Structure 1
Amino acid sequence: MQPKIGIKEEHLAAVAHSLSQILADEFVLYTKTKKAHWNVEGPDFYNKHLFFEQQYTQLDDIVDTVAERIRT
């Protein structure tokens, strides 16, 4: 039994498609941020390293939330 969430059946596929596009974009950003975290160099290494770590941690939460919304 599917829960009623207030979205008409004909719109569910469109919503899932939009969320899938958002998920793909967020995952690409997550991956690029993680790569920047691994490869940062220079005199401001520590601050940039921490910044990228915070950013990819937040992006991981976003990716998880969007993926869960697609599954509901």
Structure 2
Amino acid sequence: MKATIGLTEKNTNAVSNELAKLLADEFVLYTKTRNAHWNVTGDNFHANHIFFENQYKQLDEIIDSVAERMRKIGHYDPKQ
């Protein structure tokens, strides 16, 4: 699918490469946050459990948004 948004193929490739880096960073952060959610302990268990859950849900939305932006400019996410 070719994007018709006024960017050259060279520019969409450059943007896609930067988005791929962002996607990778966000996915690592999502994984670490999800792990913290699963393994929280201590006196503030409930508050921390809810905190990490909210965080990984927000990160999930960000990841989805970045991957969709890549598709809009005609590229697939790197794991494809």
Mind listing any 5+ residue stretches in structure 1 that lack a counterpart?
A: none
Q: Return the structure number with greater relative CO, CA threshold 8 A, min gap 6.
A: 2
Q: Which amino acid aligns with 1:25?
A: D
Identify the residue that residue 54 of structure 1 maps to in structure 2.
Answer: 54
The structure-2 alpha-carbon separation of the partners of 1:39 and 1:29, relative to structure 1 and needing over 3 Å to count, comes to: same
Between the aligned residues of both structures, percent identity stands at 57
Identify the residue that residue 39 of structure 2 maps to in structure 1.
Answer: 39
CA distance in 2, matches of 1:66, 1:21: 10
Superposition misfits of 4+ residues, deviation over 6 angstroms: none
Higher normalized helix content (fraction of residues): 1
Q: Secondary structure at the match of 1:5?
A: coil
* TM superposition score normalised by structure 1: 0.92
Q: Which amino acid aligns with 2:23?
A: L
Mind listing any 5+ residue stretches in structure 2 that lack a counterpart?
A: 73-80
CA distance in 1, matches of 2:28, 2:2: 31
Equivalent positions of 1:1-72 (< 5 A) are 2-72=2-72
Please provide the CA RMSD for this pair. Answer: 1.2
CA distance in 1, matches of 2:14, 2:27: 20
Q: Secondary structure at the match of 2:54?
A: helix
